[in-house]
Amino acid sequence: MNIDSFLLRFILHSIRQLNGARSQAGLANILYGKRNHQTWIDMHHLQLQSSYKFLEKEEAALLDEALLNLMRFKLIERRDESIFLTSAGISYLENENPSAADFYERDGRVIGMMNRFWSGLHLLVQTLSNLLQGNRKFLPAVREERIQEQVKRWVGKYGIVRGARGIKEELRRLISQFSPLHQELLLLRLSGHHRVSLTFLQLSRRLGYSYWRTKWEWERALSLLYHQMLQTEFHYLSDLMSSDSGLYSASSRKTWLLLQKNLSVAEISQIRGLKESTIMDHIVEIALMEKDFPFSSFLTENELREVEEVKQKTGFTRLREFKERLPHLSYFQIRLALTLLGVGVSHGVKHIT
């Protein structure tokens, strides 16, 4: 895949958000959506949700090349291990379309979940389309067995004719509200009895946008479809949603179930046969997502306030810096506190922003 000006601006946007807090490897982890705890936490602390998982792991060489380009154009500069925008970089980011503000709309945390939903819808439409034509054998556009099972159950539940009518009507209602670009993108990403979905490169050629702009617009279209579907009653479509919330790993979910039974870290570690540090990682991940997370068993309100004060006074972003100021707190407690502050817990009053 080639680098285009859209991708360069997207990376500039991510570098601005990062503000020198992490090295190039940290930036790469965010952009490639690495599923480890540090990346997940970084994403929340540094407000990098919009950049998370925009690139595929197969596109690993792209970032190096893009950064070289940005350096050459003097849009970014390196100071020690960190990367910063130059003033030319800031103005390039601000004065082009789509506006820098549009980048913030994206939420990389739900990309995985939305893609799973889309895989189900894609395969369902292909299946119904073929069955309506009497084709019982076709090459499935989605190979994941879990999705195939889900679609089989769906067709079993609603039947071909009723199901096809229902899904068509709901798609029509939803898509009619979108822009012509998003309408076309959504339809051409579906497969049917007469054709297979187009790839992003093929779509970009057809629509006359660059590759990365097309991919970004596609994610916007999918996000619109997904969120509108959640807001109103779309019976047939919402039945394709996976029961798996996808917000955190299956392993963390098991830890969360045990936490709700008031077990300690040591007890959970013993039951699950995992290291205590792993359980702590889970706890930090859960704290990001669960509204009713009982943080007081790990951290007093005073300790939380201490971390908040240091953060406000110094603007620190590295754990080591906090630890030097607050040696009586463990790294786990600092990470947890920063996580809670990041999602909007302050002085014991919880408000999700």
Partner 1 sequence: MELNILLNERFGFQDFRPGQKEIIEAILGGKHVLGVLATGSGKTLCYQMLSQLLDGLTIVVSPLISLMEDQWTRMRQTGFKDVGILHSALAKDRLQKEWQMIEQKKRKLILLSPERLTNPAFLERLAQHQISLLAIDEAHCVSQWGYDFRPDYLKIKDSYPVLRNPLVMALTGTASPKVQSDILYHLGIEDAEKIILSMNRPNIAYHVERVKGDEEKRSFLIRELPRLTGPGIIYAGTRRETEELADWLSDRLKMEIPAYHAGLPTENRALIQTQFIHGQTPLLVATTAFGMGIDKENIRFVIHYQMPTSIEGYLQETGRIGRDGKDGVAILLYTPDDFAITASVLDYSIPNYNQIKEFYHRLILQGDNLSIHHEESDHLPLKAFLYRLEQGDWIESVRTSENGKYHYILKKELDEEDISLIAAEWEQLRMEKRKGLACFNLIISANDCLRKGIHQYFGEKDHGFSLFCCTHCGIDLRMYYTHSRTETEISAQPRSWEEELELLLPIK
Binding site residues, partner 1, CB under 8 A: 1-2, 56, 58-59, 125, 128-129, 132-133, 137, 139-141, 143-146, 161, 164-165, 167-168, 171-172, 175, 180, 183-184, 186-188, 190-202, 205-206
- How far apart are CB 82 and partner 1 at their closest, in Å? 26
CB nearer to partner 1: pick between 167 and 258: 167
- How far apart are CB 342 and partner 1 at their closest, in Å? 30
The residues near 279 (Cβ < 8 Å, ≥ 6 apart) are 255, 265, 268, 269, 272
Taking the CA atoms of 322, 309, 264 and 245 in sequence, report the sign of the dihedral they define.
negative
CB nearer to partner 1: pick between 59 and 94: 59
CB nearer to partner 1: pick between 128 and 286: 128
Contact 263, 125 (CB under 8 A): no
Q: 200: helix, coil or strand? A: helix
> Considering just the CA atoms, what is the radius of gyration of the chain in Å?
23
**Structure-block tokens of residue 256:** 């969360």
CB nearer to partner 1: pick between 88 and 196: 196
Q: 76: helix, coil or strand? A: strand
DSSP string, 214-247: HHHHHHHHHHHHHHHHHHS--HHHHTTS-S---S
Place of tokens 């799973």: 116
CB nearer to partner 1: pick between 197 and 330: 197
Compute the distance between CA of residue 86 and CA of residue 113 in angstroms, rounded to an integer: 35
Other CB atoms within 10 A of residue 344 CB: 11
CB nearer to partner 1: pick between 137 and 261: 137
Place of tokens 């100071």: 79
> Strands, DSSP E only, in the chain?
76-79, 82-85, 345-346, 349-350
- How far apart are CB 196 and partner 1 at their closest, in Å? 5
- How far apart are CB 36 and partner 1 at their closest, in Å? 14
- How far apart are CB 129 and partner 1 at their closest, in Å? 5
Contact 229, 237 (CB under 8 A): yes
Contact 108, 51 (CB under 8 A): yes
CB nearer to partner 1: pick between 57 and 72: 57
- How far apart are CB 202 and partner 1 at their closest, in Å? 6
Compute the distance between CA of residue 270 and CA of residue 278 in angstroms, rounded to an integer: 12
- How far apart are CB 146 and partner 1 at their closest, in Å? 7
- How far apart are CB 275 and partner 1 at their closest, in Å? 17
On the 0-12 / 13-18 / 19+ scale of CB atoms within 10 A, 253 is middle
CB nearer to partner 1: pick between 39 and 127: 127
- How far apart are CB 208 and partner 1 at their closest, in Å? 11
CB nearer to partner 1: pick between 157 and 162: 162
